[in-house]
């Protein structure tokens, strides 16, 4: 199974392993490329001579998913010279063992600077971390993956306003602009906003105030489930010169509302837009 990348449209294979490469050590972010040395594909040297080795960090997530970070370790200059010397010699490379300090910030953990160790497990791969605080645990999949804003090959549940969650469909990137959260992939876009009602009115009154000005002739649907009110309607709108299908959804509880707006070009995506609304959960 494949999904489309929300950045470039390329296919992303959907497997139980997700590889996520961290571009640079934290201390080298923003340093001009011409000031960095890269003697091999896995070594990086900063302008002050600090040396870093990229190693693979496998993280077990709930649901059987494995997230493998390509993350940096700060190592000694002696270890860096040895790694460089054996990098292209399979027989000697397999004996590579290094220790140092973790050189990236990855959330939800606080791991920057912790002592770590790595070793080559497979001659055709980067070294793997063999001593690292996350190796022995199993971590909540959504709590970890929601920190990655780039497109992922699996759906991820995002938390909004501390009281709502919604599914970010596989292949969609996530961007936060002010108070609005955006999901996007080729041909699809979702905007999500959380509103607070301080009037103390009913969910119906709250929804009515939000809908003021929308056309009454639109295709509306309203459902009640206990204290929760769900509402949706469809419109066709011209956006950037193209006719787009626009789905407006609202999930309302007393005092709070999550607004969902899905834009897509093809009528066949109506089921996807409805799925986004159906995935909304109240956790407050």
CA–CA gap between residue 156 and residue 276 (Å, rounded): 12
- 3-class secondary-structure state, position 196: strand
Residue 112 and residue 191 in one domain = no
- The verdict on 62 and 100 lying in the same domain is yes
In whole angstroms, give the CA distance from residue 31 to residue 33: 6
Q: Decide if 148 is inside a domain.
A: no
> For the chain, where are the alpha helices, taking DSSP H only?
77-86, 90-93, 141-145, 203-211, 270-278
Last residue of a domain, one of 79, 104, 139: 139
Take residue 34 and report the two structure tokens written for it: 């011409």
Cα–Cα distance measured from residue 57 to residue 150, given in angstroms and rounded to the nearest whole number:
18
Does 190 reside within a domain?
A: yes
- Residues 167, 250, single domain; the answer is yes
Q: What is the pLDDT of residue 57?
A: 97
**146 in any annotated domain:** no
What pLDDT is attached to residue 7?
41
Q: Say if CB 276 and CB 251 are below 8 A apart.
A: no
Q: What angle do CA 144, 146, 151 make, to 5 degrees?
A: 115
Q: What is the pLDDT along the chain (284 residues), one digit of tens a residue?
A: 344 443 444 555 556 899 999 999 999 998 888 888 887 789 999 998 899 999 999 999 999 999 999 999 999 999 999 999 999 998 899 999 999 999 999 999 999 999 999 999 999 999 999 999 999 999 999 999 999 999 999 999 999 999 999 999 999 999 999 899 999 999 899 999 999 998 888 999 999 888 877 766 667 888 998 889 999 998 877 777 777 889 999 999 999 999 999 998 887 888 999 999 999 999 98
Same domain, 91 and 135: yes
Domain boundary among 87, 107, 139: 139
Segments forming the whole domain that contains residue 254: 155-282
Q: Which DSSP symbol is given to 64?
A: S
Q: Specify the pLDDT at position 25.
A: 95
**Is 43 within a domain?**
yes
Position 40 in a domain: yes
How far does Cα 142 stand from its chain's mean position? 9
Question: Does residue 144 lie in a domain region?
Answer: no
Residue 149 lies in a domain: no
Domain shared by 25 and 125, yes or no: yes
For residue 32, CA distances in Å to 28, 29, 37 come to 9, 9, 11
Q: Is residue 105 a part of any domain in this protein?
A: yes
Domain boundary among 79, 110, 139: 139
- Do 6 and 135 lie in a common domain? yes
Same domain, 14 and 94: yes
Q: What is residue 26's DSSP assignment?
A: G
Cross-strand partners of 53? 43, 73
User: 123 and 229 share a domain?
Assistant: no
- CA 107, CA 109: separation in Å to the nearest integer? 5
Contacts of 244 (CB under 8 A, 6+ apart): 236, 237, 238, 263, 264, 265
Do residue 67 and residue 165 come from a single domain? no
* Inter-residue contact 183 to 169 (CB < 8 Å): yes
Number of domains in the chain: 2
| Same domain assignment for residues 205 and 261 | yes
Give yes or no for a contact between 230 and 222, defined as CB atoms under 8 angstroms apart: yes
Give the Cα separation of 179 and 194 in Å (integer).
8
The confidence score (pLDDT) of residue 218 equals: 64
Same domain, 120 and 185: no
Residues 114 and 186 in one domain: no
Which token pair is 59?
């993280």
Q: Are 149 and 175 in contact (CB under 8 A)?
A: yes
Tokens found for residue 33: 């490329």
């Amino acid at each position: 199974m494949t999904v489309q990348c929300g950045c470039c449209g390329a296919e992303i294979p959907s497997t139980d392993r997700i590889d996520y490469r961290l571009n640079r050590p934290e201390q080298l972010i923003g340093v001009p490329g011409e000031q960095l040395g890269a003697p091999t594909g896995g070594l990086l040297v900063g302008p002050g001579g600090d040396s870093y080795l990229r190693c693979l960090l496998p993280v077990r997530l709930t649901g059987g998913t494995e997230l493998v970070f390509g993350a940096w370790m700060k190592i000694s200059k002696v270890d860096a010279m040895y790694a460089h010397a054996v990098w292209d010699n399979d027989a000697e490379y397999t004996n590579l063992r290094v220790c140092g300090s973790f050189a990236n910030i990855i959330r939800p953990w606080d791991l920057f600077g912790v002592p770590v160790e790595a070793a080559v497990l497979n001659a055709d791969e980067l070294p793997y971390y063999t001593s690292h605080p996350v190796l022995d645990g199993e971590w909540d999949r959504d709590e970890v993956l929601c920190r990655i804003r780039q497109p992922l090959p699996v759906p991820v549940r995002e938390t909004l306003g501390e009281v709502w969650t919604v599914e970010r469909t596989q292949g969609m990137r996530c961007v936060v602009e002010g108070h609005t959260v955006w999901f996007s992939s080729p041909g699809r876009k979702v905007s999500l906003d959380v509103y607070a009602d301080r009037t103390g009115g009913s969910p119906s009154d709250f929804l009515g105030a939000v809908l003021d000005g929308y056309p009454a002739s639109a295709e509306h649907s309203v459902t009640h489930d206990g204290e929760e009110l769900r509402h949706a309607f469809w419109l066709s709108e011209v956006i950037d010169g193209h006719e787009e299908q626009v789905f407006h959804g609202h999930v309302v509880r007393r005092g709070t509302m999550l607004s969902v707006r899905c834009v897509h070009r093809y009528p066949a995506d109506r089921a996807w837009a409805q799925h986004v609304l159906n995935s909304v959960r109240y956790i407050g």
